Amino acid sequence: MKMKRAVKKGKKSDAGQTATPRDTWFTTMLQDMGSGRSEISLAAGKLVYSQGQVADSVFFIEAGRVRLSVVSRAGKEAILGILGTGDLFGEGCLAGQLRRMGSATTAAATNMVKVGREALVKALHERHPLSEAFLSQLLARNIAFEEEICDQLFNHSEKRLARALLKLARFQVDSTAMGPYAITPKVSQEALAEMIGTTRSRVNYFMNKFRRLGLIDYNGEIHVHSALLTDVVLSD
């Protein structure tokens, strides 16, 4: 389903940042759900839900970014992914998940629609356009996860890093800027290492290599030359 580009008036977060809601695929479909639906605005770095918490709702991102992560019993954290405008998360509760398998944290000022499990199940049964769009989103997520697994299994860390940078840069594709796309908010080398399953030293090595080759501009803030960096991902 094609996403519209209309922009609504932004909402101020408690950190003074603005996340601008957009007309996404779910906007009109969820508007009249009544008590089962609520809108949430959070500043960057705020916890949406934590690992082990009761799973009783699904979240739809109107604008902003959310990081999904999981912590092992040994205390090691792994980043599962970063979601943006139009994405949904927390859908495990629809399949009988009683507790959250991981945590969700805002990576930027974010506006979300929260829908309770019972209300969403009812809406999916009664509204065919919603159920079709919802299924399409889930299939797209499944394909993305399969690509991530293949990336981890078969690609070396340099290509995995290039792919991660492109994925982060895609959140800026609607920017009016003509130059390289900035990855905002800033992402650390430690976070990148967690995302691609390697060490910070390897990430630092490849970041410097990408900068020398002109694939990125990197001086604390990362600016990605998407067309050039794509060649690294597509190369054998």
Where in the chain does DSSP place strands (E)? 11-12, 18-19, 37-42, 47-49, 57-63, 66-71, 77-83, 88-89, 103-106, 110-116, 181-182, 216-219, 221-224
CATH of the domain at 196: 1.10.10.10
**Does residue 127 share a domain with residue 17?**
yes
- State the pLDDT at residue 20: 66
- pLDDT tier, 154 (very low <50, low <70, confident <90, very high otherwise): confident
- State the pLDDT at residue 10: 44
Whether 2 maps to a domain, the answer reads no
Average confidence (pLDDT) over 208-235: 85
- State the pLDDT at residue 82: 86
Whether 190 maps to a domain, the answer reads yes
Q: By residue range, what is the domain housing residue 167?
A: 156-234
Last residue within a domain, chosen from 92, 123, 152: 152
Least confident of 1-10, 101-110, 117-126, 146-155: 1-10
**Does residue 136 share a domain with residue 21?**
yes
The pTM assigned to this predicted structure is: 0.73
**What backbone phi and psi angles, to 5 degrees, belong to 220?**
90, -55
Please check the confidence at residue 111 and state whether its pLDDT lies above 50. yes
- State the pLDDT at residue 171: 62
Whether 6 maps to a domain, the answer reads no
- pLDDT tier, 232 (very low <50, low <70, confident <90, very high otherwise): confident
Whether 5 maps to a domain, the answer reads no
Average confidence (pLDDT) over 73-80: 84
Residue 199's Cβ-side half-sphere holds a number of Cα atoms within 13 Å equal to 3
Please check the confidence at residue 123 and state whether its pLDDT lies above 70. yes
* Counted domains in the chain: 2
Average confidence (pLDDT) over 197-203: 90
CATH of the domain at 28: 2.60.120.10
**Does residue 109 share a domain with residue 21?**
yes
Please check the confidence at residue 95 and state whether its pLDDT lies above 50. yes
Last residue within a domain, chosen from 98, 133, 152: 152
Please check the confidence at residue 167 and state whether its pLDDT lies above 70. yes
Last residue within a domain, chosen from 110, 134, 152: 152
Whether 43 maps to a domain, the answer reads yes
Instruction: In whole angstroms, give the CA distance from residue 5 to residue 120.
Output: 25
